[in-house]
Amino acid sequence: MADIEKTPAVSAPAGDLERTSTTGGADSEALPKMMNPVLKHADRNDADEALQVLEAENGEVIELTPEAERKLLRKIDWHLMPLLCLVYGLNFLDKTCISYASIMGLKTDLGLGGQQYSWLGSMFYFGYIIWEYPTNRLLQRLPLGKWSAFNVIMWGLVLACMAATSNFAGAMVVRFFLGLFEAAVTPGFALFTSQWYTVKEQGARTCIWFSFNGVGQIVGGFVAYGIAVGTANHPVGVKSWQLLFLVIGLFTAFIGVLFLYLMPDNQLNARFLTEKEKVLAIERIRINQQGVGNRHFKMYQFKEAMTDPMVWMFAFYSLVADIPNGGITNFFSQMITSFGYSNQQSLLLGTPGGAVEVIALVAAGILGDKFGNRILISSLGLVSATIGMLLITCLSEEYNVGRLIGYYLTQAAAASFAALLSLIATNTAGYTKKTTVAALFLISYCVGNIIGPQVFQAKDAPGYKPAKIVIIVCDCVALLDLLLIYWWCRRQNRKKSEARAEPGYVKIEGQEFYDLTDRENPEFVYHL
């Protein structure tokens, strides 16, 4: 890790660690505030849980060898990433099942007309937006792994209930509660990433688990096609779209039970780590200046989140960029049929879009971390999406393959959203502030996704040209906002560098575990 010097051990047991005394005697409890009075919120009694663990090591700092850290990181990856990836893929698949169902008979069987299908798309996000801030507070207050697992189980069971709906009203109720329970997954996963991984690792990990949106789209297309063809050849007691909801919903609930058993709340209760490895896992994230979590609500951090210009740039991006997402997510199957393909063909032709999303996200995550610039590299995905929508809009009807390729290019837009999501974990410190920022970002995400389906007006079908123009404009505005965030982070880093260079500035011991915000901590550096 280039950002922190980790001295190789020469005499520590098992070659894993070396300990150096950092305590200053009997008065060390009062030392932090005396050394740096600017940090008025550096209260040892309200510090991160991790500080207590490290203090139990008799005031000694543990320094990992590179070999030991690589071994530990591999162990963490193998135990956390498969679960995060699988559940996040189901998160996308479950909320977009309705797009497959729309061409499998759901619209006819429920008697949907006019804008009713669009409202089913939007209703998911009404449940999401209403519960987003409360669930973020609960993510802070309750055990992170257990609360996340509860929500996974519940949204799987709710999705299965969609099979029992027989009218528009019943479907609206199910979609509302599906959004309510899914509201916890994205902010929860951002917290998992920030508490287990260093800033140099977070961008790639976030993009990898987020890329399973694309995997979910690929799997969903094949599952929906298999069910549609299978039930056509061998009729069963339920409609094909009902069977789709039952299969995917109950499978999700089962995975939620596994998540409850396997996913730890943090390093302190991770069953797959030894006692020594738990301490090492905490020590390796000291560089983040964020700790592993604090359950106390801090009003000053809430106020800072509400007055931080960067936070509102993030929220504005989420709003504008998710108007296209809300529309395309719910209408992509119908959009493909408008290119001249059959309903069953559209189920399969949507799957390459998922592959494009996976490639864009993984490439942006890895390259963003490698070159230390997630914002500019991920912006290429937004450029690709804009070009794709221009192809769909401007090409005439005889160029169906070109328009289909345009749809595939739109799926790269997720790279920029995932990059900003990872930057919430990386660039926001203070646990109350972090959960507040995540809530604002995802509330804006909900508003954008509520608006998105509504720009697809029934009177404009099947081409929906006005909606496509709105999407192009939104993508361009979102790109400008990304560039503004990039400029702002560079400006703040210059100011922090100047503050650290001031005569008399001294970094306090354990400062990174005092649950300080990114703005008040001079040692905090914003990642680009």
Torsion of CA 337, 343, 348, 353, to 10 degrees: 30
State the DSSP H helix or E strand holding residue 215, giving kind and residue range, or none if neither: helix 212-233
Other Cβ atoms within 10 Å of 22 Cβ, number:
12
| CA dihedral of 468, 469, 470, 475, whole degrees rounded to 10 | 90
What string of pLDDT tens digits covers the 528 residues of the chain? 333 344 433 333 333 433 333 333 333 333 333 334 455 555 555 555 555 555 555 555 566 788 888 899 999 999 999 999 999 999 988 888 888 888 888 989 999 888 898 888 889 889 988 998 899 889 888 999 999 999 999 999 999 999 999 999 999 999 999 999 999 998 899 889 888 998 888 888 988 998 898 888 888 888 988 998 888 888 888 899 999 999 999 999 999 999 999 999 988 889 999 988 888 888 887 766 555 556 677 888 889 999 999 999 999 999 999 998 877 877 777 778 878 777 777 878 878 888 888 899 889 988 988 888 989 999 999 999 999 999 988 888 788 888 888 889 998 998 998 888 888 878 888 888 888 898 899 889 888 988 888 888 878 877 788 888 999 999 999 999 999 999 999 999 998 888 888 887 777 666 666 778 888 888 888 988
Sort residue 48 into left (φ over 0), alpha (ψ -120 to 50) or beta.
Answer: beta
pTM (2 d.p.): 0.74
Q: Burial, 236: exposed, middle or buried (Cβ in 10 Å; 0-12, 13-18, 19+)?
A: exposed
Rounded (10°) angle between helices 185-196 and 116-141: 40
Q: How far, CA to CA in Å, does 125 sit from each of 155, 163, 187, 446, 467?
A: 14, 20, 15, 5, 19
In contact, 388 and 406? CB cutoff 8 Å: yes
Q: Which amino acid is present at 101?
A: A
* Nearest-angstrom CA–CA distance, 376 and 381: 10
515: left (phi over 0), alpha (psi -120 to 50) or beta: left
> What is the DSSP pairing of strand 60-64 with strand 17-21?
antiparallel
Q: Using omega within 30 degrees of 0 as the cis cutoff, is the peptide bond preceding 453 cis?
A: no
Give the C-alpha distances (Å, rounded to integers) separating 391 from 138, 327, 386, 404, 410: 44, 17, 9, 9, 10
Per DSSP, the three-state class of 52 is helix
**Given phi > 0 = left and psi -120 to 50 = alpha, else beta, which region is 507?**
beta
Number of other residues whose CB lies within 10 A of the CB of residue 169: 9
Tell me, rounded to whole angstroms, the distance of Cα 478 from its chain centroid: 18
CA distances from 150 to 139, 201, 253, 258, 260 (A): 11, 27, 9, 11, 7
- Residues 22 and 60: beta-carbon distance below 8 Å: yes
Enumerate the H helices of 462-514 as residue ranges.
Answer: 465-500
Helices and strands in the chain, H and E counts: 21, 2
Domains of the chain: 68-497 (1.20.1250.20)
| CA atoms within 13 A of residue 199's CA, in its CB half-sphere | 24
What the block records as the tokens of 425 is: 């974990």
Dihedral sign computed on CA atoms, order 107, 91, 355, 240: negative
Nearest to 189 by CA among 135, 248, 244: 135
Q: What pLDDT sits at residue 17?
A: 38
Structure tokens that stand for 388 in this block:
């794709």
pLDDT value of position 365: 86
Per-residue buried b or exposed e for 199-213, using 16+ beta carbons within 10 Å of the residue's own CB: bbbbbbbbbbbbbbb
The pLDDT value given to residue 202: 85
Q: Is 372 exposed, middle or buried (0-12, 13-18, 19+ CB in 10 A)?
A: middle
pLDDT of amino acid 474: 93
> Do 389 and 353 meet the contact criterion of CB atoms below 8 Å apart?
no
Contact yes or no for 358/214 (Cβ under 8 A)? yes
